[in-house]
Structure 1
């Protein structure tokens, strides 16, 4: 899979899971909308990634890594509370983030080999 397509898919997943977390809650918190903002930023980065802009691609990777690290505490918290719907939601985002990160790494390695 090409990195820009993985970025778009990740953006859709982040936006959808964030909306589900916010609108599906009886007491919604605005922090549930944070992944949506990251998804929008990544969607904007996908344009530069498609054009093989190295700077934009590296920015996208940094965003993915930061968000993957930032979601560990909500994952741990949702499991600790026994909120398995939230745990599933955050797990889906984590899996998508790590999958996209693997695609980026593979792309960077391939670009290095082609030099």
Structure 2
């Protein structure tokens, strides 16, 4: 999977997970916590930066990789904290898988770019 495709997929999953967490899970609890929208905000940011990633802009790609790594760590920490296997835990799992796939795609594209430069 190319880095731009992985970034787009990650953005869509994050936006969906954030909106579901806020309007679905939080609405059922009656606790509209704005922290549920953090993945959606990151997803929106990744969508905004998608054009730069697709055009192989190094600075934007590295910013997206760092943000993806930060979000992966955040989601992993929250995933571990949730004890019951409920909808909230599955949302964090989806975010973790999406971020991991994007991170692997970015690292693969960085390695390929370095090999092409050396050749």
SS of residue paired to 1:71: helix
1:22 maps to 2:22: yes
User: Partners in 2 of 1:45 and 1:87 — Cα distance?
Assistant: 28
Deviation at 1:72, TM superposition (A): 2.0
Q: Which residue of 2 aligns with 1:33?
A: 37
Q: How many residues align?
A: 113
Go from structure 1 to structure 2 and tell me whether the alpha carbon gap of 1:22 and 1:83 turns closer, same or farther (over 3 Å shift).
farther
1:20-46: CA deviations, max 9, x gaps? Answer: 111112222110001111111111111
Q: Which residue of 1 aligns with 2:58?
A: 54
Deviation at 1:83, TM superposition (A): 4.7
Over 6 Å off, 4+ runs: none
Over aligned residue pairs, what C-alpha RMSD do you find? 1.0
1:36-62: CA deviations, max 9, x gaps? Answer: 111111111111011110000000100
Q: Which residue of 1 aligns with 2:87?
A: 85
User: Partners in 2 of 1:2 and 1:44 — Cα distance?
Assistant: 18
User: Partners in 1 of 2:49 and 2:79 — Cα distance?
Assistant: 26
TM-score (norm 1): 0.93
1:2 maps to 2:6: no
